[in-house]
Structure 1
Amino acid sequence: MNIYHFVQRNSLGFLICFVLLLSGCSGNNVRDKFVFGKNRISCNNTTITVLTPFELIANGKQAEISDRNADKIMAEGHNQHIRIFVMGDKNTINESISAAAESAETLLRNNKRVTNLKVEKADDKFNNEDAKVLRFSYVEKAREEKTALTVNEYIFLQDEVIWRVIYQYRTEDPIGRELSAQLAGRIQIGAVF
Structure 2
Amino acid sequence: MELTRLARLRSHDHDSLWLFGQTSASSCVLLAEVPSASNLTASPGTLIFTNSDLLDGRIPQECPLTWTRIGNACYTTDAVSTSSALWEEDSSYCSSAYGPAATLPTFETEEQWGYFVSNITVRVWFNIRYTDGGFKMLGGSKSTFWSSKWEDGQPGSADGFAFFNARSGAMRAVPLDISPMPRHEVVCMLYAGEP
> Structure 2 length normalisation: TM-score?
0.23
Report the structure number with the largest CA radius of gyration: 1
Larger fraction in helix: 1
